[in-house]
Structure 1
Amino acid sequence: MPEVLSQNEVKRMIAAMSNLKHKCIISLLYSAGLRRSELLNLKISDIDSERMQIRIENAKGGKDRYTLLGKNVLEDLRQYYKKWRPQHYLIEGQNGGPYSGKSVVNVVKEAARRAKIQKNVVPHMLRHSFATHLLEDGVNLRQIQLLLGHNSTKTTEVYTHIANTSMKLIRNPLD
């Protein structure tokens, strides 16, 4: 079973980051359901602010897909772009090359530490949280499958086992 964070925990992680680039990293991983490699390969041209989408090219299995771009994330990305002026990759390292995967792990772990989250938080946990929260909010499993880039709904169905949707409908006998 994938481990997930609550929406509150994710928001605390984002709020805990004072570095705008690091805030964008956490926000993109979660709000777009990105894999770490997908984040690292994003180009400036992959952000479609008109359609509020992010294009993921050559993802796992060599597939392309579109995912969500949140309004708040877009605002942060605009501020980030003005400050950092990335040339090729959306999230670049200090010398203009690709940001390292290890640095992404460190950013996520530091955000969790600052947010006082006791779980061992890794970047992929934000992707699991994205899918689970969408399912809990009533988004169709097929739509979540497309956003995540899964070949089969069977892969996406794992989130039905951890979503709180049906549990919320059951009244505890002691309440």
Structure 2
Amino acid sequence: MQIYLRQTEDELRLRNYSKKTIKNYLLCLKVYFNFKKSGLEQTDLALIKEFLLSKQEKGYSAQTVNLYLNAIKFFYREVLKNPQEIDLKFAKRSKKLPVVLLREEIGKVLASTQNSKHRLLLSLAYGAGLRVSEVVGLKVKDLDLEGLTIHIKQAKGKKDRITVFPEKLKTTIQNLIAGKDKNDWIFSSERGGELTERTAQKIFEKALKKSGIRKEATFHSLRHSFATHLLENGVDIRYIQELLGHQNIRTTQRYTQVTNPSIKNIKSPL
């Protein structure tokens, strides 16, 4: 099993997959190998289907089940060079609307964050529409404070993009990065290294709880709120697509459902 996992890791690294994808694929394959137990080099469609169904029955999301399927397909097709096609349909993703915080709620979350560096981290994630991995991975050289832009490098899908930097945070961020080298992390940990994604998520969770907001919001809701509030401000959806780094406009169009003014203007007959 370990040999196959090493071979898979090497193949993923050669193809320049992200660290996160490599980690996830290897974890999925390890679980699958333990389930299959023997004959790992043989493609058994019935067993793969049984394995994926067991994940669905345990309540795994469609996205997670697809991740397992993609990892298995990669192993047989790219590592073992097995010509047999794994003709299994992808699980349908649930079409949940993104959880968006109102502007007032964003203000409450930020006001509930006592630590000034933590408050800046959340403010920047919201004000620039950043993923948690992007905000913790920011370096001083990624900021253009004169042009009020941020260069996001090697984001999701290994793509670079430019997004806006909120002018309101300019002075605060200048004070934070004063004396830092251009290659230093903006939000470093207490030991000076890169802040972990989980730490950033805990900062948000703590602030949300303290604010008293009962929505099932996550760190990613800051990014959802950024997009929704830009739409409400009348910004063209194509520009929002570029700022978020969405490959497909349909991904961005989800926010039009959240901010639909026609629905909001309808009054209940009750």
Q: TM-score, normalised by structure 1?
A: 0.91
- Aligned match of 2:114: 18
Q: Call closer, same or farther: CA 1:9–1:110 in 2, change over 3 Å.
A: same
Say which SS state the counterpart of residue 157 (structure 2) adopts. helix
Of 145-154 and 86-95, deviating more is 86-95
Pairing 1:154–2:253 present: no
**Cα distance in 2, alignment partners of residues 100 and 136 from structure 1:** 32
Partner residue, 1:30: 126
Query: Following TM superposition, where does structure 1 have runs of at least 4 consecutive aligned residues deviating by more than 6 angstroms?
Result: none
Structure 2: give runs of 5+ residues left out of the alignment: 1-96
Q: Give the letter for the 1:165 counterpart.
A: P
Distance of 1:49 and 1:111 partners within structure 2: 27
Aligned residues of 2:99 and 2:215 also touching (Cα < 8 A): no
Alpha-carbon offset, residue 11 of structure 1? 1.2
Contact kept? 2:129, 2:222, Cα under 8 Å: yes
Selected match of 2:215 from 89, 99, 119: 119
Taking only aligned residues, the RMSD between alpha carbons, in angstroms, comes to 1.8
Query: Residues 43-65 of structure 1, C-alpha deviation per residue, up to 9 Å, x if partnerless?
Result: 01111111111110001011111
Residue in structure 1 matching 2:136, options 24, 32, 40:
40
User: Once the two structures are superposed, what CA deviation does each residue of 1:16-41 show, in whole Å capped at 9, x if it has no partner?
Assistant: 22211101111111111100111111
Query: The residue matched to 2:162 in structure 1 has which SS?
Result: strand
CA–CA distance in 1 between the matches of 2:127 and 2:121? 10
Matched residues in 1 for 2:229 and 2:218: separation? 17
Distance in 1 between residues matched to 2:176 and 2:115, nearest whole Å: 10
Specify the SS of the correspondent of 2:169: helix
- 2:146 maps to 50
The answer as to 2:175 corresponding to 1:79 is yes
Secondary structure of 1:18's counterpart equals: coil
Q: How many pairs does the alignment contain? A: 172
Relative to structure 1, is the Cα distance of residues 74 and 173 closer, same or farther in structure 2, using a 3 angstrom cutoff? same
Tell me how far apart the structure 2 counterparts of residues 134 and 60 of structure 1 sit (CA, whole Å): 21
Residue number among 144, 166, 190 corresponding to 1:94 in the alignment: 190
TM-score, normalisation: structure 2 = 0.60
Does structure 2 retain, via aligned residues, the 8 Å contact 1:20–1:80?
no
Structure 1 unmatched ranges of 5 or more: none
Q: CA deviation at 1:167?
A: 3.4
Task: Give the aligned residue type for 1:134.
Answer: L
* Identical amino acids, percent of aligned pairs: 37
State the shift of 1:148 in Å: 0.1
Whose Rg is larger? 2
Q: Distance in 1 between matches of 2:146 and 2:177?
A: 17
State whether residues 86 and 96 of structure 1, in contact with CA within 8 Å, keep that contact through their aligned partners in structure 2.
no
Distance 1:53 1:5 in 2: 24
* Greater relative CO, 1 or 2 (CA 8 Å, sep 6+): 1
